[in-house]
């Protein structure tokens, strides 16, 4: 099932780094940038997480919060955050339910092999819980700036 701009974001509550929990309701009244990435501590995923962390204050100034999602464990998220001093929460979608709900668990190919994995996708969700923008097949360089610029356009 593919979700589209204008749809209500799927409801969820999952574990985060530091032993916390995050649900869609926690973002009520704020914009939510929910970004899905394949794996902690890999080059592209690290750059993306650092980029969102470095711009956290700019997102907060736009009444937005940024939350990352992968299928890594809470323990891996804790190590990843500690290693790179990340300042955004990371959801541990260990059973893949959130990836399924947002349509980011897809068939991928590398070196001629087909496998299932997380597509790098970012969702911009309104303060009312509606999908405002979806970036699929994200290329990391420039992505954080693009998301911030789109958010600012909704706020101007």
Task: Give residue limits of the domains in the chain.
Answer: 13-155
pLDDT category at 10 given cuts 50, 70, 90 is: very high
> What is d(CA 38, CA 16) in angstroms, rounded to the nearest whole number?
16
Fold that domain 13-155 belongs to in CATH = Glutaredoxin (3.40.30)
- Weakest-pLDDT range from 17-26, 102-111, 142-151: 102-111
CB neighbour list of residue 116: distance below 8 Å, 6 or more residues apart: 105, 106, 107, 108
| 99: annotated active-site residue | no
Contact 68, 91 (CB under 8 A): yes
Indicate which residue of 27, 32, 33, 45 is catalytic: 45
Percent of the chain clearing pLDDT 90 (strictly above)? 90
Contact 55, 144 (CB under 8 A): yes
How does the average pLDDT of the chain come out, rounded? Answer: 94
pLDDT category at 88 given cuts 50, 70, 90 is: very high
| Phi and psi, residue 28, nearest 5° | -55, 130
Task: Enter the pTM of the model.
Answer: 0.95
Contact 53, 32 (CB under 8 A): no
What pLDDT, on the 0 to 100 scale, is given for residue 36? 97
Residue 1 pLDDT > 70, yes or no?
no
Q: Give the pair of three-digit tokens for residue 93.
A: 């979608």
């Amino acid at each position: 099932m593919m979700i589209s701009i204008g749809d209500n974001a799927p409801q969820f509550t999952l574990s985060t780094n530091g032993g916390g929990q995050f649900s869609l309701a926690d973002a009520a009244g704020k914009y939510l940038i929910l970004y899905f990435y394949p794996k902690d501590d890999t080059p592209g995923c690290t750059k993306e997480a650092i980029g969102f962390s470095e711009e956290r204050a700019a997102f907060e100034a736009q009444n937005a919060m940024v939350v990352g999602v992968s299928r890594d464990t809470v323990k891996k998220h804790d190590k990843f955050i500690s290693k790179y001093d990340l300042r955004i929460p990371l959801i541990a979608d260990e059973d893949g339910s959130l990836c399924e709900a947002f349509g980011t668990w897809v068939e991928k190919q590398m070196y001629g092999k087909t496998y299932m994995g997380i597509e790098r996708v970012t969702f911009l969700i309104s303060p009312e819980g509606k999908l405002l923008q979806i970036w699929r097949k994200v290329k990391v360089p420039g992505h954080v700036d693009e998301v911030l610029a789109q958010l600012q356009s909704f706020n101007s």
